[in-house]
Amino acid sequence: MIQTPHVDWFSISTILVLLGASGIALLGAVLVPRAHRRTFAAAVAALGSIGAIVTSVWLYVDSASGHRVIADGFYRDRWTAMAQVIICATAFCTVLVSVDHVPEEHVAEFFSLLLASTAGMTFFVGAANLMTLFLSLEWFSIALYIMCAIDYGREGSLEAGLKYLIVGSFGSASLLFGSALVYGATNHIGFAEIAQTVGSQGLHGDLLLVLGLAMIIAGLGFKMSAAPFHMWTPDVYEGAPTPVTAFMSSATKVAALVLTLRVLRTAFPQETHLWSWAFAGIAVASLVIGNFAALVQRNVKRMLAYSSISHAGFMLIGLSAGTALGGRALMYYLVPYSAMAFGSFAIVAARERELGVPVTFENLAGFGWERPFLGVAMWFFMFGFAGLPLGGGFIGKFYVLSAAYRHGWTWLVIVGVLATLVSLYYYLGVVRALYMRPGEGVGVAAVAGGSPAREPLLHAAVGLALTVSVGSLFAVGPLITLAKHAAASLPF
Amino acid sequence: MSVASLTTVLICLPIGAALAVWILPLSRYATGSLAVLVSLVEVGLWIEQAARFDFGRRGLQFSQDTPWIKDLHVSYHVGVYGFSLWLVGLTVVAMAACIGYGFWVGRDRARAYFGLMLFLTGATVGVFVSQDLLLFYAFFEGMLIPLYVLVGVWGGAGRLGATIKLLIYTMAGSLVMLAAIIVYGLKAGTFDLVDAPPSVSRWLFLGFMLAFVIKAPLFPFHGWLPDAYREAPPEVTAVLSGVVAKAGVYGMLRIAITKFPEPAHFYATSIMALAAGTLVYASVLAFRAPDFRGVVAYSSMAFSGLIALGLFSGKDLGYDGAVLQMVAHGLISVSLFLIAGAVERRTTTGEFALLGGMARGRPALATLLMATGVISLAVPGSASFAGEFLILAGAYQRAWWWAVIGAGAIVLAAMYMLRLISAVLHEARGSTVSDAALDLRPGELALVVPLVGVLLALSAWPAAITHHSFAGDTPTAAVKAQFK
């Protein structure tokens, strides 16, 4: 008789809902006639992600006192639940954008994979030991590798899938190796037990442990695409189907950053001074590389990829502070960031569909006047990214910089401010292209012929993203309270 | 409507109207009418506020305070002091004239244009009334967003370069200010401008000042100015120099001098030197400028220097003169740029070489340009003269040679302004001036005449501002008490 642990089914309800929906969508690929497959799979995916949002909100409300469940393998607390809400909301928007943007042959499989990877991420953010951490990382990564390559008729898509697979596997390997070293040093895989053992056995500063920590940081750095682990990002973001890029740039980053802070605070509190400095360094590297590389990009997706690297840098400023304020700042920042990142890629997807070629600054000309809503939304996202007070990005930056200052790192505040200044140039480049260059001379607008597709669902998704990014400026109070309660689950 | 919410209404009404204009599918005519109407309602609301304002009482009036970010003690705190009341008045009057001008010339893409102008109105009012550092910063930056698009879309041929310079320069300043705000606010434990204790940090002072001297602008931070003023549409240039630039000098008074008494004292001489340098340098540039807008642009820069000179003299007369001059110069500059726009529309150019002889047969244009120009060059009896006299008297109390430099610059002002007047109105008829070019039309008169009227009223009674800015106190005492 095998002893099975007690399972708190409700704590993993979000994951179960997503997995269930994923299974149904996959069945649709075989059972539902081709004519209805797209509608069916998209509907299942939309319902699944809405259901997942509902359960995560419920979990947030119902998990005031965080604790571990299922053989201490998973955290049921507000930190997990809030991240799950953001991830599932992103997944829902991805469904809306993908409906008209996924190749016909594998549409049901695509939605199934999308749900599966969302499930993986929602599990990942609650991981409580190195084993569940690694398994869930692979779980969502493998789904993402396939999603990147799903448009396999296009060379870029295949290339993106392959690159992501190879570099991602390298990151996973590093994470796994690091985990092994940490296990070797402490004889434990549970985060809390690791911290306990380090404390009780005086392993503080132990070479094996520190090496393991460094490799874990590197492995997670790949997922959050922070420099110097970023080199895959522009290529993969450029090559992957744009809805997938939108999903990766927002949800993956949320998952990776949220989990990283959890691991560091829970498993390695004694090494705070080490990882604080490590992440401050990574943040600076991301800010410098992301911003300066973005300056010279002509392809909008590549520019946004570098911008996402630089934003990883900003969020890492909050993370590196390693304080409750930093955690709050990180969680708050993720809300407008994921909305803006998602929304801007969704708009690129719309333009891409219209033109049939990759979107560059040149062929973005006049777009703002042709499609006023998408143009205005892009305008808001770009100004929001740049930290102008048109959205929550402004408060997010203010918060992370405040966290850095409270931590005593005025120099990091100055680096952040300078990075913002550099970033203005390329964000405004988009606005300039949208509104200030004549569209007639481009000569590509006619390629698709006729008026652009109406795409009400894409508009709805962009509208949602716009609402969240602008709304988070006004609803700072409530959001911060939510983030505060979430961060209270972590041991600060 | 409670009285206190009047301030919030002054901010929110134009922003709400901007949203309405963007969303509602109104015709060009309806959009413009709505925008003009809203801007006039703003003027009416401001008059209501001024009428209810108790000039004898100290401290903030019409204030509202709601927590915004609780754990960092950031709040939505707005309210007006005597001097900010006048600047809000300048803003709403100038914006009404400029929006009216945009309507008159029929800017294309009307919904976008008027929405942005209304948004700009709200943001600018917000700068002058916010009593929380982060809120101040948000509005300070918020002004830039519509300006960027207004210059970039409706500007002249070199607009793209102009917008980049404008934005990079001003953002460089304001981002440094953001860092200073974070440090100052977290150190003080509150971001509230009224409650925050004064600081002695010289670094923070310089961080704030950088943003303000770029916005004003003072030499050598004026690199963005010539391009932006020349390429923007005339009414946007008018806003930029008449109102937005005043946010820079207002910030010096409200934040830099008030919250950093020790550093302000320490750096007073250096900043006055910078201001005096700006005054002379910009006046010389204005004298050399080859076109209408160039002259007015550099003259505004010179006036920014003059105002800063008054503020950092640290004397009662200096403060009073500076506030009067902010308002008077704002009105002058808006009038002159609108007239410049009118001239450009008739002749397609502002180059002096191609202009001349416009007075003949155009009495209204000649009279208005003459009147504004004469007020601008501080002829005795004008509002500008009162302001300059007070500023120079304040500077004189500090050291006599500040006043000598200032007086020298006023001579230069007379030179460049008279050069402008004669180059446009008199001399031989320019090649671009045809007989068909009409005098100012009733629509244009309706915009410029009220501005000049207000200027004349201020000339008759400058004490309206100088005696009603610092709540019965001497200005130095009010600054020392941080306006509490």
Render pLDDT for A96-108 as a digit per residue (tens, 0 to 9): 999 888 888 889 9
Residue pLDDT, tens place only, B217-249: 898 899 899 888 888 999 999 999 999 999 999
Biggest alpha carbon–alpha carbon distance for chain B: 68
Residue identified by tokens 């977290």 is B186
With tokens 């949602």, the residue in question is A464
Measured at the CA of B84, the angle between CA A387 and CA B9, to 5 degrees, comes to 70
Q: Is the pLDDT of residue B256 over 80?
A: yes
Q: And the tokens for A152? A: 């396999």
Of A275-279, A450-454, B12-16, B159-163, least confident by mean pLDDT is A450-454
- A324 interface with B at CB cutoff 8 Å: no
In a domain, A246, yes or no: yes
- Global pTM? 0.93
Q: Tell me if chain A has a CB within 8 Å of the CB of B149.
A: yes
Residue A427 pLDDT > 80: yes
- Which pLDDT value is given to residue A438? 67
- Does A344 or B464 have the greater pLDDT score? A344
pLDDT band of residue A384 (cuts 50, 70, 90) is very high
* Of residues B134, B142, B186, nearest to A406 (C-beta): B186
With 70 as the cut, is the pLDDT of residue A443 above it?
no
Parallel/antiparallel/unpaired status of strands B61-69 and A67-69: unpaired
Q: Would you state the pLDDT for residue A449?
A: 53
Which residue of B153, B168, B182 is in closest CB contact with A436? B153
Domain membership of residue A3 (yes or no) is: no
**Average of per-residue pLDDT values in chain B:** 90
Residue A330, both tokens = 């990180």
In chain B, the number of structural domains is 1
- Note the pLDDT tens digit of each residue in B109-165: 889 999 999 999 999 999 999 999 999 999 999 999 999 999 988 988 888 888 888
B179 touches chain A (CB under 8 A): yes
Tell me: pLDDT of B4 over 80.
Answer: no
Local confidence band at B58 (pLDDT 50, 70, 90 cut-offs): confident
A260-309: pLDDT as tens digits = 999 999 999 988 889 999 999 999 999 999 999 999 999 999 999 999 99
Decide if B179 and A413 are in contact by the 8 Å CB cutoff.
yes
- Residue contact A388–B141, C-beta within 8 A: yes
pLDDT of residue B367: 92
The residues, ordered by sequence, that sit 6+ positions from A184 with a Cβ below 8 Å of its Cβ are A208, A212
| Interchain proximity B69–A328, CB inside 8 Å | no
* Per-residue pLDDT, B438: 86
Structure tokens at B154: 């409706």
> For residues B183 and B143, is the Cβ–Cβ distance under 8 A?
no
Asked whether residue A140 carries a pLDDT value surpassing 90, the answer given is yes
**d(C-alpha B363, C-alpha B366), whole Å:** 5
Q: Summarize pLDDT for B260-281 with one digit per residue, the tens.
A: 999 999 999 999 999 999 999 9
Rounded to a whole number of angstroms, the distance from the CA of B8 to the nearest CA of chain A is 15
Task: Give residue A370's pLDDT band: very low, low, confident or very high (50, 70, 90).
Answer: confident
**In terms of residues, how long is chain A?**
492
Bridge partner residues of A127 (DSSP): A74
Neighboring chain A residues of B164 at a CB cutoff of 8 Å: 425, 428
Structural domain of A434: 9-487
What's the confidence (pLDDT) of residue B361?
A: 85
What is the C-alpha to C-alpha distance for residues A484 and A323, in angstroms, rounded to an integer?
12
Do the Cβ atoms of B186 and A484 come within 8 Å? Answer: no
- CB-CB neighbors (< 8 A) of A484 in chain B: 71
Q: How far is B137 from chain A (nearest CA, A)?
A: 9
pLDDT band at B349 (very low <50, low <70, confident <90, very high): confident
Q: Locate tokens 């966290």: which residue?
A: A403
Which residues are B78's β-sheet partners? B64, B130
Complex confidence, ipTM: 0.90
Q: Does residue A1 lie in a domain region?
A: no
A492 touches chain B (CB under 8 A): no
Residue A258 pLDDT > 80, yes or no?
Answer: yes
Low-confidence winner among A84-93, A112-121, A359-368 (lowest mean pLDDT): A359-368
Q: Is the model's pLDDT at A259 over the cut of 80? A: yes
Nearest-5° angle of CA B254, CA B256, CA B261?
A: 105
Mean pLDDT, rounded, for A218-244: 92
Task: Enumerate the residues of chain A whose CB falls inside 8 A of the CB of residue B168.
Answer: 421, 424-425
Model confidence band, residue A390 (pLDDT cutoffs 50, 70, 90)? confident
Contact residues on chain A for B145, CB-CB shorter than 8 A:
383, 388, 390
For the residues A453-470, what does the mean pLDDT come to?
Answer: 91
Structure tokens at B21: 């204009």
**Cβ-based neighbours of A451, under 8 Å, separated by 6 or more:** none
Question: Using an 8 Å Cβ cutoff, are A388 and A342 in contact?
Answer: no
Q: Which residues of A touch B214 (CB under 8 A)?
A: none
> What's the pLDDT score for residue B346?
87
Which residues of B are less than 8 Å from A388 in CB distance?
Answer: 141-142, 144-145
Residue A247 pLDDT more than 90? yes
A477:B67 CB<8 A = yes
The residue assigned the tokens 């703002």 is A368
Closest among A187, A185, A188 to A212, alpha carbons compared: A185
Establish if A345 belongs to a structural domain. yes
Give me the pLDDT at residue B168, please: 87
Q: Residues of B with CB below 8 A from A398's CB?
A: 134, 178, 182
Q: How far apart are CA B273 and CA B292, in angstroms?
A: 28
Percentage of chain A beyond pLDDT 70 is 97
Q: Percent of chain B scored above 90 by pLDDT?
A: 57
- B81-117 pLDDT, tens digit per residue, is 989 999 999 999 999 999 999 999 888 888 999 999 9
Report the residue from B163, B182, B183 with minimal CB separation from A398. B182
Can you give the residue range of the structural domain that contains B406? 5-480
Q: Do A389 and B144 touch (CB under 8 A)?
A: no
Chain A stretch 122-151, residues whose beta carbon is closer than 8 A to a beta carbon of chain B = none
Asked whether the beta carbons of A404 and A483 are under 8 A apart, the reply is: no
Q: Look at residue B470 and tell me whether its pLDDT is greater than 90.
A: no
Per-residue pLDDT at A452: 66
Residue B150's closest chain A neighbor by CA? A436
Percent of chain A with pLDDT over 90: 72
Report residue B407 as tokens. 């007086």
**Given this model, what pLDDT does residue A419 score?**
93
Pick B182's closest partner by Cβ from A328, A401, A480.
Answer: A401
Chain B: closest CA distance from residue A203 (Å): 36
- The token duo for A417 is 């401010």
End-to-end CA distance of chain B: 26
pLDDT-based confidence at residue A7 (cuts at 50, 70, 90): confident
- The DSSP result for B370-438, as a single string, is HHHHHHHTT-TTSHHHHHHHHHHHHHHHH-HHHHHHHHHHHHHHHHHHHHHHHHHHSSSPPTT--TTPP
3-state secondary structure chain A: CCCCCCCCHHHHHHHHHHHHHHHHHHHHHHHCCHHHHHHHHHHHHHHHHHHHHHHHHHHHHHCCCCEEECCCCEEECHHHHHHHHHHHHHHHHHHHHHCCCCCCCCHHHHHHHHHHHHHHHHHHCCECEHHHHHHHHHHHHHHHHHHHCCCCCCHHHHHHHHHHHHHHHHHHHHHHHHHHHHHHHHCCCEHHHHHHHHHHCCCCCCHHHHHHHHHHHHHHHHHCCCCCCCCCHHHHHHHCCHHHHHHHHHHHHHHHHHHHHHHHHHHCHHHHHHHHHHHHHHHHHHHHHHHHHHHCCCEHHHHHHHHHHHHHHHHHHHHHHCCHHHHHHHHHHHHHHHHHHHHHHHHHHHHHHHHCCCCECCCCCCHHHHCHHHHHHHHHHHHHHCCCCCCHHHHHHHHHHHHHHHCCCHHHHHHHHHHHHHHHHHHHHHHHHHHHCCCHHHCCCCCCCCCCCCCHHHHHHHHHHHHHHHHHHHCHHHHHHHHHHHHCCCCC
Domain-located, residue A4: no
Count of structural domains, chain A:
1
